[in-house]
Amino acid sequence: MTALSPATKAARQAQIAGILAHAQVRSQEELAGILADRGVHVAQATLSRDLEELGAVRLRGPAGALVYALPGDPGGPGSWPGGVGAPGPESPADHGAAGARLPGQAGAGGMEPGFSGNLPRVAAELLVSAEASANLVVLRTPAGGAQLLASALDHAEWPAILGTVAGDDTVLVIARDPAGGDALAQALLRQAERRT
């Protein structure tokens, strides 16, 4: 299982933090290229804002060149949004959002049943990644965002969701279908990318 990431600001910043934690990045152009290789295309102005919001600074690296770095304290400026660990060697972009559909679910172009209220907006702002196992889906958010996302899921009254449990930056979603976790994760990612 590999966690998938939607095209949200929080997910993009998590990707940037992961890259800077594991690579010597000398310029914004180099960072934009790495992101593009992962399927994340970003304008230079947006990338500059992301680096500023993450607290990135340029420091002299071991080879003497200036490289971007993030302050290392968990929860501090420049830490991973929501405490999420670095992505693995496979990029979320390597995995498409197309997947099995839930019973009665509309296609990618239509509204999915149960997605109502503020769920589209909340998911677009807070969902960093979704990873499924059997009937469970683990959603990651920036620190403090899990309660809001879980509440939006609960109020959507989506029949495929049995319930949610929220911590600070993690939401556990229990799918009604014993094997419905993957389809539910895919539907949530599509919802987050809808940009409503």
> Can you tell me whether residue 125 is helix, strand or coil?
helix
Beta carbons of 169 and 127 less than 8 angstroms apart: no
Total Cβ atoms within 10 A of residue 24:
14
Q: Could you give the domains of the chain?
A: 9-87 (1.10.10.10), 109-192 (3.30.1360.40)
Strands 170-175 and 136-140: what pairing?
Answer: antiparallel
Instruction: Give this prediction's pTM.
Output: 0.52
Question: In sequence order, what E strands does the chain have?
Answer: 57-60, 66-69, 129-133, 136-140, 161-166, 170-175
Query: Per-residue pLDDT for the chain (196 aa), expressed as one digit of tens each?
Result: 555 666 788 889 888 988 988 888 999 999 999 999 988 899 999 999 999 888 888 887 777 788 888 875 444 344 444 433 333 333 333 333 223 223 233 333 333 554 556 788 888 888 999 999 999 999 999 988 888 898 889 888 788 999 999 999 999 999 999 999 999 999 998 888 874 3
